[in-house]
Amino acid sequence: MILNVENVTKKFGGLVAVDHVSFQVKKQEILGIIGPNGAGKTTLFNVISGVYYPEEGKIFFNGRDITKVPSYKRARLGIARTHQIVKPLNELTVLENVMVGACFGKTGASLKQGMAIAGEVLDAVGLGHKRDVITVKLNVPEKKRLELARALASGPEVILLDEVLAGLNPTEADEMLQVILKIKESGITILMIEHLMHAIMKISDKIIVLDHGRKISEGSPQEVASDPKVIEAYLGDPDLALRLIKSKGNTL
Amino acid sequence: MEAWIGAILSGILLGLVYGLAAMGLNLIWGVINVINLSHGAFIALGMFSAYFLFHFAGLNPFIAVALVLIIGLIIGMGAYFVALHRVLDAPELSTLLSTYSLSLIIIGLGTFIFTTNPRAIDIGLGSIGVAGIYIPISKILTGLFSVLFTVILYLFLYKTWTGKAIRAVSMNKSAAEFMGVNSIFILSLSFGIGIALAMIAGCLIAAIFPFTILSGSVYELKSFVICVLGGLGSPLGALIGGLILGLLENVFALKIPVGYIPFIEFMILVIILLVKPTGLITKR
Amino acid sequence: MKRGYTLIWLIPLILAISLLPVIAHSVIYRETIFLILMYITLAVSLNIILGYTGYVSFGHIVFYGIGGYTSFYLMYRFGVHLILAMIMGGILSAIIALIVGEAVLRLRGAIFAIATIGINEAIKSLVTNLQFLGGATGMFFNFKIYKTYGGAAKAIWFAYWIMVVVTIICLLTSYFIKNSKFGYGLFSIREDEDAAVVLGVNTKRFKSIAFAISAFFPGLVGAIFFFKAGNIEPDDAFHLVKSIEMIFMVMLGGFGTVSGPPIGALLYERLKGILLINPLFKNLHMAITGFILLIIILFAPGGIVGWFRNRFKKLRSLLE
């Protein structure tokens, strides 16, 4: 088990955003995390990446208890992430953005090495031609790729992808899926939050479903998609429920 | 005993004026999310308006204050479009510096025209005394006017449509726009009201203390302390913060060397910012 | 990232300017250039926290005052040599920045700015009340102190050369930070602190170190300035307007760049000099400064260097 989340709870005032959630992730697995809006998915990522410490529960990374390890140290241990709302370093160039990942993440590169790594990673995600552009000038899909590149350059063992497909057109989304599969092949473990059911059902090895902060289902994509509890949770969101039911047919 | 009562009374009266002076800063901070570093300059401008209205139009500050309100509103709304509108979405450094540059321009021109000589307005209202404690009537009037303007501001913010729009913009600008509020007008109006309050405070202070063109900065620094004491965005909070500061200055002065009071005030400022950056009394 | 070439022209330029008073045998030149060098050091060091890290240290002059008072006291009371006293002043400034920074660097944006103003005012009123530091009237040197340096005239030249050395070291520091991994950590904090920490930047430590470095040099400058002046008082040492001048120079030249603050400092000193000499503008210099600042903020937030860099991309490596 590369990542082991045990009974984690995170509250904001009276609101329990993540409620006693446990799950495990095997090395080189893709874990999909789904659930209606406000289910606590991003909060869960924030707890794993150390933005918040949980009130209860523990998180183990490669067997080591990292529950109270600060965010920047987790990055150095090999946990990288992207953000749902992109957080580019606007006034730096695309290359410099990715260099920050390479220099301060697990890779721990020197500036010179960082530049070389950043160049390679940018080519891999298809942003090589934009390397000297000031980041603020990128469009949203490009910024999403940039976030992914920055996370990859840090040399992670686990990467948390928060809705990297959102806002992409079908072609771009397909390209991104190919990139994600390549990342997996390179030996990296992936946790991804996604609203595009079709995509996440196709790509995940395992899926957990959150609703109101609680884990309501866990299993293979098929198991989850036929779980009555999941259907029920999505009934509040008929559109999503419909997509979930439809996607059941063409999984795998 | 008389010393204590006297200190408390003048602390309260002074505190009310401090509160009024801070209210404009607080309103702008709360609604536009800008720390207005030209606040002190506008207080000084208010003092000089009072001075000239007194000497050339024969209006005493308690009458002139109505005119000053209108002047402040117009200047403030103009200043918003000159110095702030363009940089409102830029990093905070920009608004700090653009308002500071306004301050430099006002105080620079003021120094050029009026020099830094001290001035005073003596309206000669005398004092009233009860049981051996004498308080100048102008101080009492100043305190009362401060309360009056707080009440007016409160009624405006909570009872009028425009006032509600201001509060809506301060809570959530885009939601307010969605509801049909012209946010540009509201933002400039808020800045105008903030500036008008600063100038009114200056006008009233001029009735009780001598001043120079540089005097505003003292009240600006005090206003920062008051804003964090009283909490952001609430006029009542500013008044309470002002009262605390006024009492502190007058009552502490009986027990500790006066020189240490600014030190205590600024330590309070820093400590509150560290403990609770939104101010002691939370908004709403 | 290409390593910038800024120092190739900047350092020789500073050296050439520094030698002017010797070549011209002019005490007036020396006084002017001393001020220019002082402004350059103040602006360049502020730029490390303001321009690189994005924290608006509005009361930054407090470190100049702390360095000034510390060294003045050491020289005045114990006859410590300027160089030693100066270094101790700088170190104390840096240590205080570390301690204060531990607390206030948690604050962001304008709240941080206000807190630094509060700190400057608090320390100023504290010093005003400390009798061993001379209270409100401050301290005056006995001219005997200058004997160590071969008399007052030589002491002033000595202070001048120390200022030259400090300026060069400050510029080198600024340049090497800008082109180091540490510098990249600072820029990432400036652009998005939350993203930076998730990327593995120890933001808390980076900010503290940047703050301490940017406090160290003003400490040195304060020491030299007040040694040369022969007296120190709270209103001079902790004058908030000087803080604003520092920010003005950084913004005028171009914040976050290596060459911007020195260019801004040079121009500001000259501007001030010209305005103060002219009897008409003498009293207007504040208003004119304000007007220029407003124009920069509204229309050229990148300052002079930013403006040139955007128009002539090739110049980037020569300016940044």
What's B60's domain CATH number?
A: 1.10.3470
Q: Which has the closest alpha carbon to B117: B213, B219, B216?
A: B213
Q: Which residue in the set B87, B92, B274 is minimally distant from C104, CB to CB? A: B274
Q: What is the mean pLDDT of chain A?
A: 90
Per the CB < 8 A criterion, the answer to whether B97 and C251 are in contact is: yes
Longest dimension (CA), chain B: 60
- Specify whether the CB–CB gap between A205 and A30 falls below 8 A: yes
Query: What is the C-alpha separation between A30 and A185, in angstroms, rounded?
Result: 11
Residue B282 forms part of a structural domain: no
* Interval B227-274: pLDDT, tens: 888 877 677 888 899 999 999 888 888 888 888 888 988 998 888 888
> How near does any CA of chain A get to the CA of C189, in Å?
9
Confidence of residue C1 (pLDDT cuts 50, 70, 90): very low
C-alpha to C-alpha distance for A114 and A149, rounded to whole angstroms: 12
Beta-carbon contacts below 8 Å between A and C: 86
- Looking at the structure, do residues A178 and A235 belong to the same domain, yes or no? yes
Q: Tokens in use for C65?
A: 């005052």
Question: How many domains, in total, are found in chain B?
Answer: 1
Residues 133-192 of B with CB under 8 A from C: none
Domain of residue A56, residue span: 3-78+157-249
Helix locations, chain A, DSSP H = 41-49, 71-77, 94-104, 111-124, 140-153, 170-185, 197-203, 221-225, 228-235, 238-249
Chain C residues touching residue B224 (CB < 8 angstroms): 114, 117-118
A51: helix, coil or strand?
coil
- Distance CA(A29)–CA(A46), nearest Å, equals 20
Does residue C139 sit in helix, strand or coil? Answer: strand
Core vs surface per residue C224-235: b (16+ CB within 10 A) or e: bbbbbbbebbbe
At residue C3, the pLDDT reads: 59
Instruction: For C38, list phi and psi in degrees, rounded to 5.
Output: -60, -45
Residue A229 — very low, low, confident or very high, per pLDDT cuts 50/70/90? confident
Contact between chains at C200 and A49 (C-beta distance less than 8 A): no
pLDDT at C17 over 80: yes
- Report the domain count for chain A: 2
Q: Which residue has the higher pLDDT, C241 or B279?
A: C241
Residue C126 is nearest to which of B109, B221, B263, comparing CB atoms?
B263
Instruction: Give the domain C6-319 fold.
Output: ABC transporter involved in vitamin B12 uptake, BtuC (1.10.3470)
Q: What confidence score (pLDDT) does residue C62 get? A: 97
C187–A96: do the CB atoms touch at under 8 Å? yes
With a cut of 70, say whether residue A175 has pLDDT above it. yes
CB A83 to CB C1 under 8 A? no
Mean pLDDT of chain B: 87
Task: Return the structure tokens found at C237.
Answer: 């040492």
Taking the model in full, what pTM does it have? 0.91
Considering Cα of C254, then C256, then C258, then C264, what sign does the dihedral take?
positive
Contact (CB<8Å) C195/A83: yes
CA B280 from chain centre, in angstroms, equals 18
Residues from chain C that touch B114, judged by Cβ atoms under 8 A, are none
Q: Return the SS3 of A9.
A: strand
Q: CA-nearest residue of chain C to A46?
A: C198
CA C168 to chain centre: 13
CB contact under 8 A, C122 and B87: no
* Residue A58 · residue A6 · CB < 8 Å: yes
Residue A41 near residue A33 (C-beta atoms within 8 A): yes
Which of the other chains make 3 or more beta carbon contacts under 8 angstroms with chain A? Answer: C
For position A205, what pLDDT does the model report? 95
How near does any CA of chain C get to the CA of B115, in Å? 9
Domain residue spans of chain C: 6-319
Name every chain C residue with its beta carbon within 8 A of the beta carbon of B22. none
Handedness of CA B216, B218, B224, B229 (dihedral sign): negative
pLDDT at C190 over 90: yes
The domain containing residue B218 runs over which residues? 2-275
Q: Which residues contact A40 (CB under 8 A, 6 or more apart)?
A: A10, A17, A18, A19, A21, A210, A212, A213
* pLDDT, tens digit, 9 for 90 and up, residues B64-118: 999 999 999 999 999 999 999 999 888 888 899 999 999 999 999 998 888 888 8
Among candidate residues A100, A132, A155, the one where a domain is terminated: A155
d(CA B50, CA B59): 8
Beta bridge partners of A211: A214
What does the block give as tokens for B16? 């009310």
Q: Is B252 on the interface with C (CB under 8 A)?
A: no
Q: Which of A100, A110, A154 sits opposite C188 (nearest CB)?
A: A100
The answer to whether the CB atoms of C201 and A95 lie below 8 A apart is: no
Q: Which of C3, C176, C190, C198 to mutate to test the interface with A (most CBs of A within 10 A)?
A: C198
Q: How confident is the model at residue B280 (pLDDT cuts 50, 70, 90)?
A: low
Q: Are B105 and C287 in contact (CB under 8 A)?
A: yes
The CA–CA distances, whole Å, from C103 to A92, B273, C169, C238 equal 28, 10, 28, 21
Q: Within 10 A of A247 (CB to CB), how many other CB atoms are there?
A: 18
Q: Cβ of B274 and C301 within 8 Å? A: no
Chains C and A touch (3+ CB pairs under 8 A): yes
Inter-chain contact B100–C121, Cβ cutoff 8 Å?
A: no
Q: What is the pLDDT of residues A110-137, one digit of tens each?
A: 999 999 999 999 998 889 999 999 999 9
C-alpha dihedral sign at A161, A162, A168, A174: positive
Give the Cα separation of A100 and C201 in Å (integer): 8
8 A C-beta contact, residue B205 and residue B149: no
Chain C partners within 8 Å of B259 (Cβ) = 125, 128-129, 136
Q: Taking a C-beta distance cutoff of 8 angstroms, is the pair B178, B24 a contact?
A: no
CATH number of A58's domain: 3.40.50.300
> What does the alpha-carbon distance between residue C257 and residue C7 come to, in Å, rounded to a whole number?
12
Same domain? For A241 and A214 the reply is yes
For chain B, counts of helices (H) and of strands (E): 11, 2
Q: Is B266 on the interface with C (CB under 8 A)?
A: yes
Burial A123-160 (b: 16+ CB within 10 A, else e): ebbebeebbeeebeebeebbbbbbbbbbbbbbbbbbbb
**Lookup: tokens for A12:** 């904001």
Q: CB distance from C208 to chain A under 8 Å?
A: no
Nearest to C192 among A49, A87, A105 (CB): A87
Q: Which of B69, B78, B127 is closest to B102 using CA atoms?
A: B78
Q: Check B259 against C128: CB less than 8 A apart.
A: yes
Could you report how far apart the first and last alpha carbons of chain A are, in Å? 25
Task: Return the structure tokens found at B32.
Answer: 């536009």
A245 and A162 assigned to the same domain: yes
Smallest Cβ–Cβ distance between C191 and the set A50, A70, A90 belongs to A90
The answer as to whether B173 is a domain residue is: yes
- Per DSSP, chain A holds a count of helices (H) and strands (E) of 10, 10
Rounded to the nearest 10 degrees, how much is the dihedral formed by the CA atoms of A85, A91, A93, A96? -80
Instruction: For residues A167 and A212, state if they share a domain.
Output: yes
Alpha carbon distance B20, B219 (integer Å)? 11
Is 90 exceeded by the pLDDT of residue C174? yes
Phi then psi for residue B264, to 5 deg, are -60, -45
Is C119 at the interface with chain A, CB within 8 A?
Answer: no
- With tokens 């495990």, the residue in question is A24
Integer CA distances (angstroms), B74 to B29, B60, B81, C232, in order: 19, 21, 11, 44
Contact A72 C202 (CB under 8 A): yes
Tell me which DSSP letter residue A139 carries. Answer: -
Comparing CB atoms, the residue among B105, B261, B269 nearest residue C290 is B105
Size of interface B-C (CB pairs under 8 A): 125
- The pLDDT of residue B237: 85
pLDDT at residue A251 tops 70? no
The residue with tokens 């990139």 is A179
Is a pLDDT exceeding 90 seen at residue C313?
Answer: no
Per DSSP, the three-state class of A226 is coil
Binary contact (A96, C1; C-beta < 8 A):
yes
Q: How far is CA B72 from the centre of its chain?
A: 12
- Least confident segment among A168-177, A211-220, C131-140: A168-177
* Residue at a domain's end among A155, A185, A206: A155
pLDDT at B284 over 50: no
Confidence at residue C145, expressed as pLDDT on a 0 to 100 scale = 86
Instruction: Answer yes or no: do A201 and A243 share one domain.
Output: yes
The residue from A155, A184, A210 where one domain ends is: A155
Q: Which residue has the higher pLDDT, C109 or B243?
A: B243
